[in-house]
Every structure is written in structure tokens, then in C-alpha cells.
């Protein structure tokens, strides 16, 4: 059975940013997986409509396959890959989250 709650947010072929996600607030997960070629993926948030970007902190910067929970108020989110050596294959997906009866996207996930 296909997992219909996932939407691809990024396939990295070079360092860069994922699609910006309007997070509705609440609990979520960041999952990073694939073939790593060095580098780090960092979860960042913007409190001011994508003018300023801040790393979430804690475990939200990963260098290997990982699942990290977060709890944030409404904001913009993105994932950033930096420092890779060019030999990698990483995909990111967003899962759907219900908050107050409204669907929102905000979790990076790799399906298996």
C-alpha cells in the first residue's frame, strides 16, 4: 500500500535548500535518509516570512540517517544541505499533519 501522506520536498544533487514549508505549528519530525557524501542537513525556521533563517538547534542538524522530533509554533521551515562532497543521494519528503482540522505539510520523511 502506498503511503499517501508523503510529498517529496527535495532531491539533493548539490548543496542547497529544500522547498519552504508553511508549518502550521505543533509536533513534527525531521527524517533524513539516503546515501551520504559528507555534509549536514539542518532544519531551519523563519519567523518573518523567509527574511531571516535560524537553525532550530538541538538534534536538528544531522550527518547520517536520523529521525528528529520538533515542536514549533507556526513558521516557515526548510531543510538545508551544506558541506557535501558531491557523491550522495538524498531525498526528502513532507508528511501531512492535522492541526485544528486543517492539513499542513511540515515533516521531512524518506519512505521505505
The percentage of the chain sitting over the pLDDT mark of 90, rounded to a whole number, equals 21
d(Cα 10, Cα 20) in Å, to the nearest integer? 10
Q: End-to-end distance of the chain based on CA atoms, in angstroms? A: 12
Q: What pLDDT is recorded for position 85?
A: 85
pTM: 0.78
Alpha-carbon distances of 28 from 38, 66, 89, rounded to whole Å: 25, 14, 24
- Under DSSP, the state recorded for 10 is E
Residue pair 45/11 in contact by the 8 Å Cβ criterion: no
Q: What pLDDT is recorded for position 107?
A: 45
In DSSP terms, which residues pair with 54 in a beta bridge? 45
Residues 6+ apart with CB under 8 A from 55: 42, 43, 44, 61
Domain 6-108 CATH class label: mainly beta
Q: What is the pLDDT of residues 40-82, one digit of tens each?
A: 999 999 999 999 999 998 888 989 888 888 888 999 989 899 9
Amino acid at each position: 500500500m502506498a503511503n499517501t501522506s508523503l510529498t517529496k520536498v527535495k532531491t539533493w544533487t548539490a548543496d542547497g535548500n529544500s522547498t519552504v514549508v508553511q508549518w502550521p505549528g505543533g509536533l513534527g519530525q525531521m527524517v533524513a535518509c539516503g546515501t551520504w557524501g559528507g555534509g549536514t542537513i539542518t532544519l531551519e525556521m523563519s519567523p518573518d516570512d523567509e527574511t531571516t533563517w535560524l537553525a532550530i538547534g538541538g538534534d536538528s542538524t544531522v550527518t547520517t540517517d536520523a529521525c528528529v522530533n520538533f515542536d514549533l509554533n507556526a513558521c516557515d521551515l526548510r531543510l538545508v544541505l551544506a558541506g557535501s562532497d558531491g557523491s550522495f543521494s538524498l531525498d526528502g519528503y513532507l508528511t501531512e499533519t492535522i492541526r485544528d482540522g486543517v492539513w499542513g505539510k511540515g515533516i521531512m520523511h524518506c519512505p521505505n
